Amino acid sequence: MLRAYVILFLAFLYAPILLLPVFAFNDGTVIAFPLDGFTTKWFAELWTNDELHAALMNSLFVAGTSSVLAVLLGLAAARANIRYRFPAKAAAMGLIMLPLVLPEIIVGVSLLVVAVRMLGLDLSLWTVVAAHVLICTPFAIAILNASFQSLDPSLEEAAIDLGCSRAETFRLITLPLVMPGIVAALLISFTISLDEFIIAFFLTGSDPTLPVYIWSLLRFPRLIPVVMALGTILMIVSIGILVLAEWNRRRGLARTGAKDSGGFL
């Protein structure tokens, strides 16, 4: 009974996603069975689309910048959270983590109002970066919290005791030991930003990110198989990055002999 339930549940989760590659290789513009034959022409069409390339570069820029910023903020917040006690810490951390569960459409609309109406900013990739930092930072903190949690505070004290300054201690001891967490946080923030649509849709100006561009393609039925092909590639890249992040985290644990206190995945 339980087994049947699990199988149904997994099918519900993954069957639609598995249809993506099926139609990406289907030689026909109508998304329906029966299939019309095998082709790679949709992928070839991706290759020659300049607008798509521009959107991809925009997304890589946004994802790269916002993941680095989110991880830098996350490092500071996670270290403070684990090492220090300060007033209203739980409340402060709770508020920082809130964007994890806040509906993205609310974040998108309110940021749009603030950016355009109140700050008078022009929408650009930078407004998207700012918003993506907001939603990626909680993920970065969650991962880095675990890294700092498993870091024995005596290690930093021992380094100072053996003659290191605070800066040297961070560089020689703290940083190498939380590096797997940093890499994992970077990869996951990057993936989240790369896939994010709603907020980017509100805040992007004349330069669309990849998901926004994909959405605009959906207006042309002829191009739907192209979207399927693009989706297939994005799915593989996303899964690849997440696997890389988890592999890196486990390797870090094995290298330092630390106990696995539950990773992000």
Partner 1 sequence: MTDAPLIRLRGLQKYYGDYHALRGIDLDIERGEFFSLLGPSGCGKTTLLRVIAGFEDVSEGTVVLAGEEMTRVAPNKRPTNMVFQSYAIFPHLSVGQNVGFGLRKRRDLTADAKDGLIAEALAMVGLDGYADRAAHALSGGQRQRVALARALVLKPKVLLLDEPLSALDKKMREHMQVELIRLQRQVGITFILVTHDQEEALVMSDRIAVMFEGGVAQIAEAEDLYRRPNSRRVAEFIGTMNFLPATVTGDRVSVPGLGEVPLAAVQATATTDGETVVGFRPETATLLFDGQADTDHVASGHVAEVVYYGDMTYYDVALSGTEATVRLSMRNVFGRPVLEIGAAARVAWSPGALVLFR
Q: List residues near partner 1 by CB under 8 A.
A: 152, 154-155, 157-165, 173, 176-177, 255-258
Beta bridge partners of 125: none
User: In angstroms, what is the minimal distance from the CB of 160 to partner 1?
Assistant: 5
Q: Which of 127, 124, 64, 138 is nearest to 96 (CA)?
A: 138
Nearer to partner 1, 110 or 256 (CB): 256
Instruction: Return the axis-axis angle of helices 89-97 and 50-83, rounded to nearest 10°.
Output: 170
Nearer to partner 1, 106 or 160 (CB): 160
User: In angstroms, what is the minimal distance from the CB of 234 to partner 1?
Assistant: 35
User: In angstroms, what is the minimal distance from the CB of 80 to partner 1?
Assistant: 19
User: In angstroms, what is the minimal distance from the CB of 53 to partner 1?
Assistant: 41
User: In angstroms, what is the minimal distance from the CB of 75 to partner 1?
Assistant: 18
Nearer to partner 1, 51 or 152 (CB): 152
Query: Tokens 């569960």 sit at which residue?
Result: 101
Nearer to partner 1, 40 or 256 (CB): 256
Nearer to partner 1, 94 or 176 (CB): 176
Nearer to partner 1, 27 or 157 (CB): 157
Q: Report the C-alpha gap between 9 and 6 in whole angstroms.
A: 5
User: In angstroms, what is the minimal distance from the CB of 158 to partner 1?
Assistant: 4
Q: Report the C-alpha gap between 213 and 104 in whole angstroms.
A: 18
